[in-house]
Structure 1
Amino acid sequence: MTEIRKFETDIVVVGAGNAAMCAAISARENGASVTVLEKAPESEKGGNSTYTHGSIRFAYDGEEDLKQIMPDLTAEDFANTDFGSYPEEEFFHDMCRMTEYRTDPELASLLTGNSFETMKWLVSHKIRYVPIYGRQAFKVDGKFKFWGGMIAESVGGGPGLVGSLYEEASRLDVEVLFNAMASELIHDDEGVHGVIFKYKGRTSEVRAKAVILASGGFHANPEMRTRYLGPKWDLAHARGSRYNTGEGIQMALNIGAIASGNWSGCHSVGGDRYLPEFTEGFQRLSYPFGIIVNAEGKRFVDEGADFRNYTYAKYGKLILEQPGQFAWQIFDQKVSGLLREEYRGKQVTKVKADTLEELAEKLDGVDPNGFLQTVKEYNEAVRADIPFNPNIKDGKCTEGQAVRKSNWANTLDEGPFEAYAVTCGITFTFGGLKINSNAEVQDILYQSIPGLYGAGELVGGLFYFNYPGGAGLMAGSVFGKIAGENAARFIHKAKESDGLKI
Structure 2
Amino acid sequence: MTASRVIVVGAGNAALCAALAARERGSEVLVLERADQDRRGGNTAFTAGAMRVAYAGVDDLRRLMPDLTDEEVANTDFGSYTAEDFLDDLARVTEYRTDPDLAGILVEQSYPTLSWMKDKGVRFMPIYGRQAFKVDGKFKFWGGLTVEVNGGGPGLVDYLSKAAERDGIKIEYGARVVSLIHGDEGVTGVKVTQNGQTREEHADAVILASGGFQANTEWRTRYLGPSWDLAKVRGTMFNTGDGHRMALGIGASPTGNWSGCHAVGWERNAPEFGDLAVGDGFQKHSYPFGILVNAEGKRFVDEGADFRNYTYAKYGRRILEQPNQFAWQIFDQKTTNLLRDEYKIRQVTKVTAPTLEALAEKLEGVDPAGFLAEVAAYNAAVDTSVEFNPNIKDGRSTRGLAVNKTNWANTLDEGPFEAYQVTCGITFTFGGLRINTDAQVLDTDMNPIPGLYAAGELVGGIFYFNYPGGSGLTNGAVFGRIAGYHAADNALAS
Report the TM-score when normalising by structure 2.
Answer: 0.98
Partner in structure 1 of residue 441 of structure 2: 441
Match of 1:153 among 139, 148, 153: 148
Partner in structure 2 of residue 305 of structure 1: 305
- Per-residue CA deviation, residues 212-239 of structure 1 (Å, 9 max, x unaligned), is 0000010000000000000000001111
Partner in structure 1 of residue 60 of structure 2: 65
Partner in structure 1 of residue 89 of structure 2: 94
Partner in structure 2 of residue 469 of structure 1: 469
Matched, 1:138 2:133: yes
Structure 2 CA distance for aligned equivalents of residues 456 and 172 of structure 1:
22
Match of 1:47 among 42, 50, 71: 42
Please report how far the alpha carbon of residue 120 of structure 1 lies from its aligned counterpart in structure 2 after TM superposition.
0.6
- What secondary structure sits across from 1:39 in the alignment? coil
Q: Is the 8 A contact 2:253 2:443 kept in 1?
A: yes
Partner in structure 1 of residue 345 of structure 2: 345
- Per-residue CA deviation, residues 357-392 of structure 1 (Å, 9 max, x unaligned), is 000000000000000000000000000100000000
Matched, 1:21 2:16: yes
Match of 2:110 among 93, 107, 115: 115
Aligned-residue Cα RMSD (Å) equals: 0.8
Match of 1:246 among 229, 241, 245: 241
Please report how far the alpha carbon of residue 200 of structure 1 lies from its aligned counterpart in structure 2 after TM superposition.
1.8
Which one-letter code corresponds to 1:224 in the other structure? W
Structure 2 CA distance for aligned equivalents of residues 350 and 74 of structure 1:
38
Q: Is the 8 A contact 2:430 2:463 kept in 1?
A: yes
Structure 2 counterparts to residues 173-184 of structure 1, below 5 A: 173-184=168-179
Please report how far the alpha carbon of residue 345 of structure 1 lies from its aligned counterpart in structure 2 after TM superposition.
2.1
Please report how far the alpha carbon of residue 486 of structure 1 lies from its aligned counterpart in structure 2 after TM superposition.
0.1
User: Which residues of structure 1 form unaligned runs of 5+?
Assistant: 1-7, 495-502
Q: Is the 8 A contact 1:9 1:207 kept in 2?
A: no
Structure 1 CA distance for aligned equivalents of residues 395 and 459 of structure 2:
37
Matched, 1:78 2:73: yes
Partner in structure 2 of residue 379 of structure 1: 379
Matched, 1:195 2:190: yes
- Per-residue CA deviation, residues 426-467 of structure 1 (Å, 9 max, x unaligned), is 000000000000000000000000010000001000000001
Which one-letter code corresponds to 2:265 in the other structure? G
Match of 1:207 among 202, 208, 233: 202
Structure 1 CA distance for aligned equivalents of residues 363 and 162 of structure 2:
47
Q: Is the 8 A contact 1:10 1:34 kept in 2?
A: yes
Partner in structure 2 of residue 402 of structure 1: 402
- Per-residue CA deviation, residues 240-278 of structure 1 (Å, 9 max, x unaligned), is 011000011110000000001000000000011011122
- What secondary structure sits across from 1:187 in the alignment? strand
- What secondary structure sits across from 1:135 in the alignment? helix
Q: Is the 8 A contact 2:4 2:26 kept in 1?
A: no
Please report how far the alpha carbon of residue 88 of structure 1 lies from its aligned counterpart in structure 2 after TM superposition.
0.2
- List structure 1 runs of 4+ shifted beyond 4 angstroms: none
Match of 2:212 among 210, 214, 217: 217
Partner in structure 2 of residue 427 of structure 1: 427
Structure 2 CA distance for aligned equivalents of residues 40 and 272 of structure 1:
25
Match of 2:180 among 181, 185, 194: 185
Q: Is the 8 A contact 2:352 2:419 kept in 1?
A: yes
Please report how far the alpha carbon of residue 106 of structure 1 lies from its aligned counterpart in structure 2 after TM superposition.
0.3
Which one-letter code corresponds to 1:264 in the other structure? S
Match of 1:35 among 30, 34, 40: 30
Structure 2 CA distance for aligned equivalents of residues 346 and 434 of structure 1:
42
Please report how far the alpha carbon of residue 302 of structure 1 lies from its aligned counterpart in structure 2 after TM superposition.
0.1
Which one-letter code corresponds to 1:200 in the other structure? N
Which one-letter code corresponds to 2:437 in the other structure? S
Please report how far the alpha carbon of residue 91 of structure 1 lies from its aligned counterpart in structure 2 after TM superposition.
0.3
Please report how far the alpha carbon of residue 9 of structure 1 lies from its aligned counterpart in structure 2 after TM superposition.
6.9
Structure 2 CA distance for aligned equivalents of residues 50 and 424 of structure 1:
20
Structure 2 CA distance for aligned equivalents of residues 134 and 115 of structure 1:
22
Match of 1:106 among 92, 101, 107: 101
Partner in structure 2 of residue 366 of structure 1: 366
Matched, 1:482 2:482: yes
Q: Is the 8 A contact 2:175 2:194 kept in 1?
A: yes
Which one-letter code corresponds to 1:53 in the other structure? A
Structure 2 counterparts to residues 121-132 of structure 1, below 5 A: 121-132=116-127
Structure 2 CA distance for aligned equivalents of residues 334 and 304 of structure 1:
16
